[in-house]
């Protein structure tokens, strides 16, 4: 993490960089996204967090997620690098016969 001043038009912020993997449990679409996460304190000394992806402010990835492919909200969040593993596991499950 690093301290920055006025990165996106706000006061002093501590910035962290995190990436997450996502998998839609409805359609099987998987993707990864890196985030710049700014930790701020408002004028009343209350903390708040801003998330940015590709330079654009976005909602927290920890809230209600929407699949980029089908629009459903049944999305699992995982640590970065797990999207391909989730797709492979899902494909293997579809190929194997069920008793």
More confident residue, 88 or 9: 88
Domain residue limits at 14: 2-95
**Residue from 14, 17, 57, 55 nearest 36 by CA:** 17
- For the ranges 9-13, 41-45, 76-80, which has the lowest average pLDDT? 9-13
Q: How many domains does the chain have?
A: 1
Instruction: For residue 90, give the H/E element and its range.
Output: helix 83-95
pLDDT at 46 > cutoff 70? yes
């Amino acid at each position: 993490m690093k301290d920055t001043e006025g990165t996106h038009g706000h006061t002093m912020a501590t910035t962290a960089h995190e990436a997450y993997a996502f998998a839609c449990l409805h359609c099987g679409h998987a993707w990864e996204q890196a985030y710049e996460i700014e930790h701020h304190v408002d004028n009343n000394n209350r903390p708040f967090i801003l998330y940015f992806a590709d330079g654009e402010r976005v909602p927290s990835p920890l809230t209600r997620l929407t699949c980029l492919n089908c629009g459903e909200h049944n999305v699992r969040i995982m640590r970065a690098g797990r999207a391909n593993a989730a797709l492979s596991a899902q494909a293997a499950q579809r190929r194997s016969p069920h008793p």
